[in-house]
Structure 1
Amino acid sequence: MVGPIRPQFVLFGSSIVQFSYSHQGWGAILSDLYSRKADILLRGYAGWNSRCGLQVLDEVFPKDATVQPSLVIIYFGGNDSLEPHPSGLGAHVPLPEYVENMRKIAIHLKSLSEKTRIIFLTAPAISEAQITEVFGNCLGRSNESCRKYSAACVQLCQELGVKVIDLWKAIQQRDDWSTACFTDGIHLSSEGSNIVVKEILEVLKETDWEPNLHWRSLPTEFPEISPYIFVGPKGETAVKVSHLDLEWQTQWH
């Protein structure tokens, strides 16, 4: 274990999580913003559905761990919402089972610690036209099916008192969402990831969790050391490097 021990934020889910460091993704942006404040741990597994997530839940989030995460961001649903394959194979999970799987995941995470906070991400919208252009067909995916699984996830989270971000709606608030928000109609481009980060930070900023987990609210690690290194451009004694607002961070206040 590398110290000092920071709050741990775990991103857990399928390819939307695994690829969140690609294409200026939302995981990479969070890691940048929290670089001296929290450790972002990636637990993403492309191709997985909620059944897979449930199967490894105790291994990824053991109840007897010495340190429990401060925040877990969960995403499953896009693969669950695929059309059933005639062979019986494939990632499809019937909607009622998906809801129960997500319920079990939420209950397990809530049992880890009184300080473990949870945010669910719903299945985002998809661009059927872009999927067809890239892959030749829609691969058993439809935006309407994503809507149903997204709505079910929102309803479940409201029932359980868990924070949820409706990505299906959030992405479509942008007029050019179907061409700008994806790399292939399914996975997020940098523009799509920007929407995810904005939604996550809004939840963290507005929710009355103690401590507040927004990146501007968490303490900066070793702030007392850096002021003694750099002299300001006007010759003042020190520049507090740890408190500088860097250009690429200013949009995330």
Structure 2
Amino acid sequence: MAANVEDVIMLLGDSLTQGGWQAHGFAQQLAYVYNRKLDVLNRGMSGYNTEWIQPVFEQCFATQHEQKHVPAVRLLTIWLGANDAALPGTSQHVPLPTFAANLSKLIHMVTSPSSTHYSPVTRIMLFTPPPVNTYQWRVRQQSKTPPKGLDRDFEVTKSYAQAVVDVGAKEGVPVLDLWTVLWEACGKEEQNLSKFLTDGLHLNEAGYTILFQELMAAIENHYPELHPDRLKPVFAFHDQIDYQNPRSTLVKRNIFE
């Protein structure tokens, strides 16, 4: 399938994905490096877990019948778990086995030929949630009116991150293990995670920069044909225009050729 100017990278997730549009966020950086090649669609839904994101994804991702009329999703990132890992008794909590099953459902929606949303041109990458800094998050919770108790746990979030890794291995989908990357970057000291997190859960500029760098490396490793350096712009650079007959060169091109 030839690429259209509107072919896209779709980012599916929670507030960590939604926040990717903030200054120096990973979505913003992706949009810059893929400029004129692939557009970036951010479908991050703050506060969502894998239960709530499924009906949203069913409406955002085109069915097989619709795909001939809409831009193709060339890369889909799925970044969930930070809210699923909320402690039992909270509205966001999703039990670990259900969380893993939900991730597989999202993957199968795209990869299974029997799915109404099957898309053979779409490549998928999973992200793990980052480690939670309960020291920061406790302060954030206590600052609310009225104050709230701690609803996240370091080891629990770690188990959800491991579940993402396990699902990726089971489904044959690459995983960007942000949990391990940030844990090692902070010297394996929970309080040092404040270097990368704004409030104990969400990434700051330094955290998003690490994520973007890791994502570029993961694309190069797993889907090199999608790396921006290997893609042509959909429309020719200005010095490639036939100035005597510009319309002959100002046509959409297959960016993968």
| TM-score, normalization by structure 1 | 0.81
Q: C-alpha displacement at 1:139, in angstroms?
A: 3.3
Deviations 1:138-159 (A, max 9, x none): 6310121111011111111101
Aligned ranges 1:1-150 → 2 under 5 Å? 5-63=5-63, 64=65, 65-66=67-68, 67-85=71-89, 89-111=90-112, 112-136=118-142, 139-150=150-161
TM-score (normalizing by structure 2) = 0.80
Q: 1:197 aligns with which of 212, 217, 220?
A: 212
Query: How far apart, in 2, do the equivalents of 1:60 and 1:139 lie?
Result: 33
- Name the residue aligned to 2:166: 155
Q: Which runs of 5+ in 1 are unaligned?
A: 229-253
Amino acid at match of 2:132: I
Question: Which structure would you say has the larger RCO, counting Cα contacts within 8 Å and 6 or more residues apart?
Answer: 2
Deviates more, 1:107-116 or 1:142-151: 107-116
**In structure 2, do the counterparts of structure 1 residues 55 and 208 end up closer, same or farther at CA, with 3 Å as the change threshold?**
closer
> Structure 1 or 2: larger helix share?
2
Partners of 1:131 and 1:138 within 8 A in 2: no
Matches of 1:187 and 1:224, distance apart in 2: 38
- 1:183-222 counterparts in 2 under 5 A? 183-208=198-223, 212-222=225-235
User: Which of residues 225, 238, 241 in structure 1 aligns to 2:238?
Assistant: 225
The answer (yes or no) to whether the contact 1:182–1:192 under 8 Å persists in 2 is yes
- Aligned partner of 1:246 in structure 2 is none
What is the rounded CA distance, in whole Å, between the counterparts of 2:55 and 2:95 in structure 1?
17
Match in the other structure for 2:255:
none
Give the alignment's Cα RMSD to 1 decimal.
2.0
Superposed displacement of residue 54, structure 1 = 1.4
Q: Show structure 2 runs of 5+ residues with no match.
A: 113-117, 143-147, 242-257
